[in-house]
């Protein structure tokens, strides 16, 4: 038997909290149990073997969220795997932006384009309990993850569809369209951090030669999908806010605004469709 303290001592190059998370996964215990009751946590030979396998993945740059199949976003823990972009803290700004625009008691209809794990739509529906929403994604595997999260969080009014934005035929119109589309330039993919490049799906990252194509396509399509005075809300890459604002303007949107993330980077661009 090895104790959690032994494993921490033997892997002193790895942050203690990550070792504890891997042990918690192997032992099917809470992180708190492993951290605060360390003297009672031991791994038998088989568990040590499992731990070594997880640690090898960790040392191979796999994000701990993907090893644990869990990532915190907004108020929830989402199931994540290699089929979806890992939810990022800056994306929570989309939820905050919607909260500044509407009262949570309102009955809204949301569309989330490229929903991935479903984290944006499901978090919105967690706040706006009288509302409903559709999440679409070109990846069938991503839609399976989004549905799994819907069940896990027991959120009723979401509907996930495996369809690309170019093939989406909406029978209804939406009050709010949100999207964190792929926005990395193809030429920049190779220089992304390893944990992103190797473990986030390329489909969720690659925004084409300029990184702006998804914004051009979605802005044009969404003019048909938004209700009069509806909002479109995009997450954008660190240097894209100006270009995306111009794309929105040329598609007839008004009241274009930009919101900064905690790192003071222009991260959200949103606008209205006054028809």
Q: Residue 273 pairs with which residues in a beta bridge? A: 230
Q: Quick one: how far is CA 78 from the chain centroid? A: 9
DSSP designation for 180: -
> In the complex, which residue's CB is closest to ligand GLN?
183
Q: Is 74 a binder of ligand GLN (CB under 6 A)?
A: no
Phi, psi angles (nearest 5°) of residue 115 = -70, -25
Q: Is 183 a binder of ligand GLN (CB under 6 A)?
A: yes
Q: Is 117 a binder of ligand GLN (CB under 6 A)?
A: no
Positive/negative CA dihedral, 54, 55, 59, 64: positive
Interaction with ligand GLN in 197-256: which residues (CB under 6 A)? 205
The backbone region for 211, taken as left when phi is positive above 0, alpha when psi lies in -120 to 50, beta otherwise, is left
Which CB sits closer to ligand GLN, 196 or 259?
196
Q: For the chain, percent helix, then strand, then coil, each to nearest 5? A: 45, 20, 35
Q: Is 182 a binder of ligand GLN (CB under 6 A)?
A: yes
Q: Cα–Cα distances in Å, from 242 out to 56, 95, 113, 114?
A: 42, 21, 21, 22
Print the binding letters for residues 77-116 with ligand GLN: x by CB under 6 A, - otherwise: --------x--x----------------------------
CB of 193 to ligand GLN, least distance (A): 7
Q: Residue 160 pairs with which residues in a beta bridge? A: 135
Which CB sits closer to ligand GLN, 202 or 220?
202
Which CB sits closer to ligand GLN, 153 or 184?
184
Print the binding letters for residues 6-45 with ligand GLN: x by CB under 6 A, - otherwise: ----------------------------------------
Which CB sits closer to ligand GLN, 128 or 215?
215
Q: Which stretch binds ligand GLN (CB under 6 A): 176-184, 226-234, 251-259, 264-272?
A: 176-184
Distance CA 258, CA 200 (A): 26
Q: Could you tell me which residues come within 8 angstroms of residue 197 by beta carbon, excluding any fewer than 6 positions away?
A: 189, 190
Helices (H) and strands (E) in the chain, counts: 11, 11
Q: Is 180 a binder of ligand GLN (CB under 6 A)?
A: yes
184 and 206 Cβ atoms separated by less than 8 Å: yes
Total residues at interface with ligand GLN (CB under 6 A): 10
CB of 241 to ligand GLN, least distance (A): 14
Q: Which stretch binds ligand GLN (CB under 6 A): 158-166, 170-178, 181-189, 250-258?
A: 181-189
Q: Cα–Cα distances in Å, from 4 out to 28, 43, 47, 259?
A: 14, 8, 11, 44
Which CB sits closer to ligand GLN, 135 or 181?
181
Where on the chain is the footprint of ligand GLN (CB under 6 A)? 85, 88, 180-184, 192, 196, 205
């Amino acid at each position: 038997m090895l104790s959690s303290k032994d494993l921490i001592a033997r892997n002193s190059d790895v942050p203690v909290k990550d070792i504890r998370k891997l042990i918690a996964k192997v032992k099917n215990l809470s992180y708190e149990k492993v951290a605060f009751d360390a003297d009672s946590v031991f791994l038998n030979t088989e568990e040590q073997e499992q731990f070594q396998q997880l640690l090898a993945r960790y040392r191979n740059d796999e994000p701990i969220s993907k090893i644990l199949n869990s990532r915190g976003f907004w108020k929830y823990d989402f199931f994540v795997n290699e089929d979806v972009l890992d939810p990022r803290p800056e994306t929570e700004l989309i939820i905050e932006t919607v909260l500044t625009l509407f009262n949570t008691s309102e009955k809204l209809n949301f569309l989330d384009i490229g929903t991935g794990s479903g984290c944006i739509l499901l978090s919105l529906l967690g706040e706006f309990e009288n509302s409903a929403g559709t999440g679409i994604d070109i990846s069938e595997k991503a839609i399976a993850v989004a549905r799994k999260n819907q069940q896990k969080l027991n959120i009723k009014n979401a509907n996930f569809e495996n369809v690309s934005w170019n093939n989406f035929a909406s029978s209804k119109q939406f009050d709010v369209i949100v999207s964190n589309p792929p926005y990395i330039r193809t030429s920049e993919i190779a220089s992304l951090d390893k944990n992103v490049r190797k473990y986030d799906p390329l489909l969720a990252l690659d925004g084409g030669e300029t990184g702006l194509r998804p914004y051009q396509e979605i802005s044009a399509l969404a003019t048909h999908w938004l209700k009069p005075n509806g909002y479109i809300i995009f997450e954008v890459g660190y240097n894209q806010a100006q270009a995306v604002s111009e794309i929105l303007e040329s598609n007839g949107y008004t009241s274009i605004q930009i919101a900064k993330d905690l790192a003071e980077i222009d991260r959200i661009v949103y606008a209205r469709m006054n028809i």
